[in-house]
Amino acid sequence: MLTKEEKLQVINSHKKGLMYTKYNLEIDALSENARPQPNAETISSIDERIEEVEGQLAALDAELARVNALTE
């Protein structure tokens, strides 16, 4: 069984990975918008993926709060 600290480390590790993913998507959007004729479908797709990542981060934040409230 994982300790509270181990659970927090796992959650934070996942959050960090998602934050990297979100930043990469933001860079993709920046690059696409810098093109002479940005592709609206590409930008829309990137925006949707950013929203998905934000939802995942929110879920992990909720889990982080739940685990932080645990007593060992």
pTM of the model: 0.91
Q: Which domain holds residue 42?
A: 4-68
> Which tokens hold the place of 63?
């889990």
Instruction: Give the pLDDT of residue 11.
Output: 98
If one counts the domains in the chain, the total is 1
The single residue listed with the structure tokens 């609206």 is 40
Distances in whole angstroms, Cα of residue 48 to Cα of each of 5, 11, 52, 69: 33, 23, 6, 32
Task: Report whether 68 contacts 9 (CB < 8 A).
Answer: no
The model's pLDDT over 10-69, given as tens digits with 9 standing for 90+, comes to 999 999 999 999 999 999 999 999 999 999 999 999 999 999 999 999 999 999 999 999
